[in-house]
Amino acid sequence: MSDGTMTKQTGQPIISVKHLKQYFDISDGFLGSRPLKAVDDISFDINEGETLGLVGESGCGKTTAGRSLLQLYKPTAGEIFYRGKKIVTKSDIAEFRKKATMVFQDPYSSLDPRMTVADIIGEPLDVHHMYSSKEERREKILTLMEHVGLNSEHAARYAHEFSGGQRQRVGIARALAVDPDFIVCDEPVSALDVSIQAQVINMFAELQEKMNLTYLFIAHDLLVVRHISDRIAVMYLGHMVELGKAEEVYSKPMHPYTKALISAVPVPDPKVAKANKRIALTGEIPSPLDAPSGCPFRTRCQYATEQCAAEVPEFKEVESGRFCACHRLSEIN
């Protein structure tokens, strides 16, 4: 399959994204505007019950991809399917949002400081009319709080009374309120202390098993992504450059950018760390407003040729379940 999608052997993927583009018009003084290509033609599938990790450096379009998938931004182009059904109309989006939610990056800004924890968690229940009495609403809220490790006495408190880790638990409980199938986790632990990160990551894994959840897990920390993901997708400057099983991408990266990312991951064993050769990337990441021609990575790639400047490499399946976009793949692997 040339567009980089994967299909589960047993049936349809839960989410299918085909040729998604998200461009923003940026004012260019008196001369009008130019498109900022935040996401530029990406395709992938997410199978039921799995976690797809989406990684890349800041500004590569990871968060925009997640928000566009949930239709928080109206995509410029491309198709999004949920359980085989294309999401097109407002009623499609409304139905989809009952089954697909988001956990935001910053637990400090994503919770309303004027609302109690019970009202924050109960808001999706109110929006979608998911209870028949106040008692049922309260029961649902307390059950959700229990799922994420919060006590019932926390219900009447406000967000500012909690630590970062507890606030993120409130955000996760809110995401679970509509009983979703699919959750976009947008860097959900990057704002937390390292000691708290492991607790929250483990909670995501437990909830996934208990509630049969499917995640798109967006992060820039490769160790976190490796720990929780079944497969990993790597983005660079709005494009997807590699996709495969987590252990394969980690142990045998194919794309020059993925190789550089993996080489920068700290290793706890000093002997192994000394033997590992760090691949240093030269130059700054280009602006998506002024992206290079051809391969988006070519300006920082030691293997770049004239072909790389002339043609955008096709994102294609190079091994079973392994996708990559590189003209010189066979020569550098």
Is 60 exceeded by the pLDDT of residue 1? Answer: no
In the chain, pLDDT over 90 holds for what percent of residues? 55
Band of residue 245 on the pLDDT scale cut at 50, 70, 90: very high
**Residue bearing the bigger pLDDT, 160 or 217:** 217
Provide the pLDDT for residue 10. 40
Provide the pLDDT for residue 6. 41
**Residue bearing the bigger pLDDT, 96 or 34:** 96
Q: Report pTM.
A: 0.89
Helix (H, G, I), strand (E, B) or coil at 237: coil
CB 300 within 8 A of CB 285: yes
Is 70 exceeded by the pLDDT of residue 275? Answer: no
- List for the chain the helix, strand, coil content (%; round to 5): 40, 25, 40
Is 60 exceeded by the pLDDT of residue 11? Answer: no
Name the residue with tokens 């407003």.
Answer: 289
List the chain domain ranges. 15-332
- Distance between CA atoms of residues 71 and 81, nearest Å: 12
Give tens-digit pLDDT for 145-171. 999 989 888 889 988 888 888 889 999
- Distance between CA atoms of residues 30 and 88, nearest Å: 35
CA separation, residue 161 to residues 108, 154, 193, 292, 295 (Å): 11, 9, 17, 47, 48
**Residue bearing the bigger pLDDT, 265 or 183:** 183
- Residue 120: CA count within 13 A, CB half-sphere: 27
CA separation, residue 80 to residues 47, 76, 85, 200, 276 (Å): 14, 12, 8, 29, 40
Provide the pLDDT for residue 35. 87
- 8-state DSSP, 19: E
Q: What is the CATH number of domain 15-332?
A: 3.40.50.300
